[in-house]
Structure 1
């Protein structure tokens, strides 16, 4: 998952939103597999070095997620404005009987 989150961050940096979305699906699939298909693996007692490694990976994933959001949020706002502008224009056209344009 950590490797995938790094790839997601690179996709966000490159404005590759389709690639980011595909990687998100891979992460979700992996997560679902771990949770539903292999739950005993989640309950294994870990030695201290393995626990520290796992903690470091989780921290990296969370840091990647924060940075991905920093790239994605402005893009999402732009999309939101584009979509709301189109909806507003359609509503005005309908209100004044102008039909779609």
Structure 2
């Protein structure tokens, strides 16, 4: 697969990640992120192999795809950050509860 085709694939995955983030479908988002990482690894492998340089039109398309993925990343983060903040609060509260129970010898739920 050419590097440009890999960028096209990553752009499609990135758009799907936005949809998953909008829907708060965290399991799907994680799955898509793994697929994105595999595509990224493919690009890195392709960069290590000798390939023909991209023409002007292909280079412009690659730049468009990268810009779109960066925009998608911003939106994904807008959806994920509040969720992560709430998870952090939940986890820190749980850890604090355990510390209090341990300090005062209270065991149980």
Residue 95 of structure 1 is matched in structure 2 by 103
Out of 27, 34, 52, the position equivalent to 2:60 is: 52
CA distance in 2, matches of 1:88, 1:57: 45
Per the TM alignment, residue 34 of structure 1 is displaced from its structure 2 partner at its CA by 2.3
Residue 32 of structure 2 is matched in structure 1 by 23
Out of 44, 53, 56, the position equivalent to 1:35 is: 44
Residue 80 of structure 1 is matched in structure 2 by 88
Gaps of 5+ in 1: none
Out of 1, 13, 34, the position equivalent to 1:4 is: 13
Give yes or no for contact 1:2–1:61 (8 Å, CA) kept in 2: yes
Q: How does 1:54-73 map to 2 (within 5 A)?
A: 54-73=62-81
CA distance in 2, matches of 1:19, 1:32: 20
* TM-score for both structures, normalised by structure 2: 0.85
CA distance in 1, matches of 2:53, 2:42: 20
Gaps of 5+ in 2: 1-9
Runs of at least 4 residues off by over 6 Å: none
Larger deviation, residues 27-36 vs 54-63? 27-36
* TM-score for both structures, normalised by structure 1: 0.92
